[in-house]
Amino acid sequence: MFHVPPVSHALDDAIRRAIDGKTKPLGALGVLETVGAQIARIQHTLTPRLRHCRLTIFAGDHGIAAEGVSPYPQAVTRQMVTNFLAGGAAANVFARTNGVDLQVVDAGVAGHSMEAPGLVSRRIAAGTRNCAVEPAMSPEQCEEALSAGEALGAAVAADAAAFGEMGIGNTSSATLVAHKLTGAGLDSLVGRGAGLDDAGLERKHAILDRAARRTAARLDGQDALREYGGFEMAMMAGAMVGAARAGAVVLVDGFIAGAVALAAVRLAPALRDYLVFAHRSAEHGHGAVLLALEARPLLAFDMRLGEGTGALLAWPVLKCAAAMLSEMASFESAGVSGPV
């Protein structure tokens, strides 16, 4: 478990020559060249192709929601799962627009088991425990979530895998996971989540400070997820590992997915080279997570929705980066004079 094969760098020089030989000034396509090279490295070819992407949205509830860390009631998690299945959420709209398959997974939504056409059930329990006062999940539950996610990630059967999340309270959980993995102070991490006002933000900070004091200052990836994560977060971490092991490019969404990716990289360091970071979230703590991952996101649209929406918007950029290497003419093939 948690094994990802290291990306080969054997073609690095050839990839660089191929990119530099395209009919353009050196470096003229900027970050697109970096991403194209990364995709070529993952696929171990000078002619990479990205035809198919799948978005998996993991849904789960968080015990810490009982502390009032979100302005929305916990019932919204279940309601949004129904919305995803009906095709009405932003993630559905963006997925349809960009030709991306979408599946929804019940990782642990509060209440009774959900049964609906198209819903994948990998339910661990009816939500996690309140991580402000006790570990969010047992070691066995964390292992089960990671394993279930790993199997789902390995089965995506796509060139690229994107992962989204839904769970009232999961911005708080992600903040605590990021705090324990980066060592960054809560002041630099705590944000408004689903739209807290100033009083709500101050209350959230106090609650998260109390939760953070339960454990050591720093935790490893699995312990951070077990103590503070959600079932949907642990499942997503496993899915990133599984998808990378299957050879897929892994598109990382915003703050919550970024915190999960950081935990997953701590579990499987070779995963880092498979990750493409879609966008910089407007959520306060995302910068610290990106810094810890040495990541440069592709987009910055001041978004903080989750659901994998930022990853979906980045998907056309990835397709263009791969097509640049595979389809763009070289100076030699086009009969165009290169630089002198």
Q: Look at the block and give the residue holding tokens 């995302």.
A: 286
Give Cα separations from 202 to 68, 69, 146, 171, 209 (angstroms). 12, 10, 33, 15, 11
Calculate the dihedral angle through the C-alpha atoms of 250, 91, 148, 2, rounding to the nearest 10 degrees: 20
DSSP H helices, the chain, are: 12-20, 31-43, 75-86, 90-98, 139-154, 170-182, 198-212, 221-228, 231-245, 255-267, 286-293, 309-327, 331-334
327 is catalytic: no
How far is the C-alpha of 186 from the C-alpha of 78, rounded, in Å? Answer: 29
φ, ψ at 333 (rounded to 5°): -70, -30
Sequence-distant (≥ 6) Cβ neighbours of residue 268 within 8 angstroms: 2, 3, 4, 241, 244
Query: What is the sign of the dihedral through the CA atoms of 103, 283, 310 and 144?
Result: negative
Give bridge partners of residue 275 from the DSSP assignment.
250
Q: How far apart are CA 331 and CA 316, in angstroms?
A: 25
* Structure tokens given for 85: 């299945």
Determine which one of 150, 165, 232, 307 is catalytic.
Answer: 307
Residues annotated as catalytic (active site), given as ranges: 307
